[in-house]
Chains A and B, each alone.
Chain A
Amino acid sequence: AQSVSQHNHHVILSEAASLELGCNYSYGGTVNLFWYVQYPGQHLQLLLKYFSGDPLVKGIKGFEAEFIKSKFSFNLRKPSVQWSDTAEYFCALLTGGFKTIFGAGTRLFVKA
């Protein structure tokens, strides 16, 4: 079965703390993975994506994610969060047939 699991529903950090959000997937085909972000009151937008090649991908606003095939994981990281990173983060998997499956989301709150 195809699925995406995000480990944390809520994360609260202070500014300058390091961030790691967990994402695991289950899928038997070619893996294409995404992190999307939804800032308060805004559209969902793409943060970064992995299709092939270097398993460490860099996205906007200093975020990066590492694809580890042996662990079926695609964790999102940022070395030092800012108050403006407060948002909901979704891990997603693109399957064959154009269908994207999303995880349940992680709400990040950064204290100023």
Chain B
Amino acid sequence: DVKVTQSSRYLVKRTGEKVFLECVQDMDHENMFWYRQDPGLGLRLIYFSYDVKMKEKGDIPEGYSVSREKKERFSLILESASTNQTSMYLCASSLAGEWTTNEKLFFGSGTQLSVL
């Protein structure tokens, strides 16, 4: 089974801190994604990456950046955390480098971030 591992299940940070959320997948997937999940809003895409060192903005990239130096690792960075970034953050990966019927997302267990 594919495993997507997020480094922390719960994090508490202060306003203004720089925050790193780490995600590692063990199945050589090309695509990796960061979503935030908020009640009533579903999952919203922050950033995604389809290759090492490649990144694309999602729907809500403001206040975030990402890093993908190695294929298996995709980091989400909050440059200066704010209270409105309190949320559940989900990392996901997918196999296909091209659009195929095998496309589906494999999710990590999430990181609940609280910014005080």
Contacts and interface: CB of A to CB of B under 8 A. Distances in A.
B58 interface: yes
Q: Interface extent on B, as a size class? A: 20 to 34
Contacts, number: 57
Interface of B: 4, 31, 33, 35, 40-45, 48, 50, 56, 58-59, 90, 92, 94, 96, 99, 101, 103-105, 107-110
Contacts of A6: 42
A45 B31 contact: no
Given A98-B50, A98-B94, A99-B58, A105 B42 contact: yes
Given A98-B31, A98-B50, A98-B94, A46 B105 contact: yes
A28 to B, nearest CB: 16
A44 B33 CA distance: 14
